[in-house]
Chain A
Amino acid sequence: MFQLSKWKTIPILLTVLFGVIFSSPNLVSKDIRQAYFPEFLNPLVKGLDLQGGTHVVLEVDGKKFKSELLKQLVGDLRHRLRNVVKVRYTGLGVKPGNVVSVTIKNLSDVEKVLPELRKLTIDNSGSGFGDIGQSMGFGGPGANLYDMTVEGNKISFTFVDAGLNAKIGSAIKAIVKILGDRINSLGTTEPTIQRQGVDRILVQVPGLQNSQRLISILGQTAKLKFQLACDTQPTGPNQRPPLDCEAWPQKEYPTQNMWVQTSRKAVVSGEHLVDAQPAFDQRDGQPIVTFRFNTKGGVEFGDLTRKNVGRQFAIVLDGVVMSAPVIQTAILGGSGQISGRFTVPEANDLALVLRSGALPAELTIVEQRSVGPSLGKDSVSAGLNASIIGLIAILAFMLVSYRLFGVFANLALIANLFLLVGILSALGATLTLPGIAGIVLTMGMAVDSNVLVFERIREESRAGRGPLNSIEIGFQRALATILDANITTFIAAVVLFGLGSGPIKGFAVTLGLGILTTVFTAFTFNRLIVAFWVAKKRPKTVPL
Chain B
Amino acid sequence: MTRFRFLPDDTNIGFMQYAKIAGMISAVMCVASVVLFFAIGLNLGIDFKGGTLVEIRTEQKADIGSLRSKISTLKLGDVELQSFGSDRDVLIRIETQEGGEKQQRKAIERIRTVLGDTVEYRRVEVVGPKVSGELAREGTIAVIVAILAVMVYIWFRFEWQFAIGAVLSLSHDVLLTIGIFAILQIGFGLPIIAAILTIVGYSLNDTVVVYDRVRENLRKFKKKSLHEVIDMSLNQMLRRTILTSVSTLLALGALYSFGGEVLRGFTFTMIWGVVVGTYSSIFIAAPLLLFTGARISEPVKPEGEAEEPV
Are A496 and B142 in contact, with the CB atoms below 8 A? yes
B-side interface size class: 35 or more
Are A444 and B194 in contact, with the CB atoms below 8 A? no
Of the stretches A70-78, A230-238, A251-259, A362-370, the one at the interface is: A362-370
Are A433 and B204 in contact, with the CB atoms below 8 A? no
Q: Interface residues of A, CB < 8 Å — how many? A: 81
Contact of A368 among B7, B126, B130 (CB under 8 A): B126
- Interface 1/0s, chain A 190-231, versus B by CB < 8 A? 000000000000000000000110010001000000000000
Are B310 and A434 in contact, with the CB atoms below 8 A? no
Of the stretches A33-41, A100-108, A120-128, A479-487, the one at the interface is: A479-487
Are B201 and A489 in contact, with the CB atoms below 8 A? yes
Are A476 and B304 in contact, with the CB atoms below 8 A? yes
- Within A1-36, which residues are at the interface with B (CB < 8 Å)? 4, 8
Are B202 and A372 in contact, with the CB atoms below 8 A? no
What separation, in Å, do the CA atoms of A415 and B99 have in the docked complex? 55
B260 — which chain A residues lie within 8 A by C-beta? Answer: 378-379, 382-383, 386, 433
Are A374 and B57 in contact, with the CB atoms below 8 A? yes
Q: How close is A544's CB to chain B, nearest CB, in angstroms?
A: 10
Of the stretches B24-32, B178-186, B235-243, the one at the interface is: B235-243
Given contacts A370-B125, A488-B205, A498-B142, A433 and B263 within 8 Å (CB-CB): yes
Q: Is B208 located at the chain interface by the 8 A CB criterion?
A: yes
Are A371 and B123 in contact, with the CB atoms below 8 A? yes
- Within B181-212, which residues are at the interface with A (CB < 8 Å)? 190-191, 193-194, 197-198, 200-202, 204-206, 208-209, 212
What separation, in Å, do the CA atoms of A241 and B55 have in the docked complex? 46
A366 — which chain B residues lie within 8 A by C-beta? Answer: 101, 127-128, 130-131
Q: Is A332 located at the chain interface by the 8 A CB criterion?
A: no
Are B250 and A390 in contact, with the CB atoms below 8 A? yes
- Within A423-460, which residues are at the interface with B (CB < 8 Å)? 433-434, 436-437, 440-441, 443-445, 447-448, 451-452, 455, 459
Q: Is A397 located at the chain interface by the 8 A CB criterion?
A: yes
Are B101 and A365 in contact, with the CB atoms below 8 A? yes
- Interface 1/0s, chain A 473-510, versus B by CB < 8 A? 00111011101111111111101101110011001100
Are A487 and B254 in contact, with the CB atoms below 8 A? no
Q: Is B251 located at the chain interface by the 8 A CB criterion?
A: yes
Given contacts A211-B124, A364-B101, A441 and B252 within 8 Å (CB-CB): yes
Chain A: which residue is nearest B241 at the CB level?
Answer: A451
Are B190 and A504 in contact, with the CB atoms below 8 A? yes
A98 — which chain B residues lie within 8 A by C-beta? Answer: none
Are B191 and A434 in contact, with the CB atoms below 8 A? yes
Are B262 and A379 in contact, with the CB atoms below 8 A? yes
Contact of B194 among A481, A489, A496 (CB under 8 A): A496
What separation, in Å, do the CA atoms of A289 and B145 have in the docked complex? 55
Q: Is B98 located at the chain interface by the 8 A CB criterion?
A: no
B150 — which chain A residues lie within 8 A by C-beta? Answer: 488, 491-492
B105 — which chain A residues lie within 8 A by C-beta? Answer: 212, 215, 219, 365
Q: Is A393 located at the chain interface by the 8 A CB criterion?
A: yes
A401 — which chain B residues lie within 8 A by C-beta? Answer: 6-7, 243
- Interface 1/0s, chain B 73-106, versus A by CB < 8 A? 0000000000000000000000000001110110
B249 — which chain A residues lie within 8 A by C-beta? Answer: 444
What separation, in Å, do the CA atoms of A504 and B259 have in the docked complex? 16
A527 — which chain B residues lie within 8 A by C-beta? Answer: 310
Are B244 and A448 in contact, with the CB atoms below 8 A? yes
Q: Is B300 located at the chain interface by the 8 A CB criterion?
A: no
A358 — which chain B residues lie within 8 A by C-beta? Answer: none
Q: How close is B60's CB to chain A, nearest CB, in angstroms?
A: 16
Q: Is A375 located at the chain interface by the 8 A CB criterion?
A: yes
Q: Is A385 located at the chain interface by the 8 A CB criterion?
A: yes
- Interface 1/0s, chain B 138-177, versus A by CB < 8 A? 1101100110011001100100000000000000000000
Are B310 and A8 in contact, with the CB atoms below 8 A? yes
Q: Is A84 located at the chain interface by the 8 A CB criterion?
A: no
Q: Is A159 located at the chain interface by the 8 A CB criterion?
A: no
Chain A: which residue is nearest B3 at the CB level?
Answer: A403
Given contacts A371-B122, A374-B57, A489-B202, A499 and B247 within 8 Å (CB-CB): no
Are B124 and A368 in contact, with the CB atoms below 8 A? yes
Given contacts A215-B105, A364-B101, A390-B250, A495 and B146 within 8 Å (CB-CB): yes
What separation, in Å, do the CA atoms of A52 and B197 have in the docked complex? 27
Given contacts A485-B208, A486-B205, A447 and B243 within 8 Å (CB-CB): yes
B236 — which chain A residues lie within 8 A by C-beta? Answer: 459
Q: Is A394 located at the chain interface by the 8 A CB criterion?
A: yes
B237 — which chain A residues lie within 8 A by C-beta? Answer: 455
Are B122 and A375 in contact, with the CB atoms below 8 A? yes
Q: How close is A384's CB to chain B, nearest CB, in angstroms?
A: 9
Given contacts A401-B7, A455-B240, A447 and B247 within 8 Å (CB-CB): yes
Are A451 and B126 in contact, with the CB atoms below 8 A? no
Chain B: which residue is nearest A372 at the CB level?
Answer: B122
B209 — which chain A residues lie within 8 A by C-beta? Answer: 452, 481, 484-485
Are A484 and B208 in contact, with the CB atoms below 8 A? yes
Q: How close is A74's CB to chain B, nearest CB, in angstroms?
A: 26
Chain B: which residue is nearest A370 at the CB level?
Answer: B124
Are A367 and B248 in contact, with the CB atoms below 8 A? no
Are A386 and B255 in contact, with the CB atoms below 8 A? yes
Q: Is B221 located at the chain interface by the 8 A CB criterion?
A: no
Q: Is B59 located at the chain interface by the 8 A CB criterion?
A: no
Given contacts A390-B250, A481-B212, A484-B208, A507 and B124 within 8 Å (CB-CB): no
Given contacts A476-B307, A484-B157, A499 and B204 within 8 Å (CB-CB): no
What separation, in Å, do the CA atoms of A499 and B193 have in the docked complex? 10
Given contacts A374-B122, A401-B243, A382 and B208 within 8 Å (CB-CB): no
Q: Is B39 located at the chain interface by the 8 A CB criterion?
A: no
- Within B256-308, which residues are at the interface with A (CB < 8 Å)? 257-260, 262-263, 266-267, 270, 304-308
Q: Is B38 located at the chain interface by the 8 A CB criterion?
A: no
Q: How close is B127's CB to chain A, nearest CB, in angstroms?
A: 5
Q: Is A400 located at the chain interface by the 8 A CB criterion?
A: yes
Are A491 and B244 in contact, with the CB atoms below 8 A? no
Query: Hey, which bits of chain A sit against chain B, CB under 8 A?
Result: 4, 8, 49, 57, 59, 211-212, 215, 219, 364-372, 374-375, 378-379, 382-383, 385-387, 389-390, 393-394, 397-398, 400-401, 403, 433-434, 436-437, 440-441, 443-445, 447-448, 451-452, 455, 459, 475-477, 479-481, 483-493, 495-496, 498-500, 503-504, 507-508, 511, 523-524, 527
Q: A480-B305, A488-B205, A523-B310 are in contact. List 15 more A-B contacts (CB 8 A).
A: A368-B126, A369-B126, A370-B125, A375-B123, A375-B262, A385-B258, A386-B257, A394-B247, A441-B248, A444-B247, A455-B243, A488-B154, A499-B141, A499-B142, A507-B194
What are 18 sample pairs from A and B whose C-beta atoms fall under 8 A apart?
A8-B310, A364-B100, A366-B128, A369-B125, A370-B125, A386-B260, A393-B251, A434-B191, A440-B254, A440-B255, A441-B255, A444-B251, A444-B252, A451-B239, A488-B201, A488-B205, A523-B310, A524-B310
User: Nearest 3 pairs between A and B by C-beta?
Assistant: A444-B251, A480-B306, A382-B260
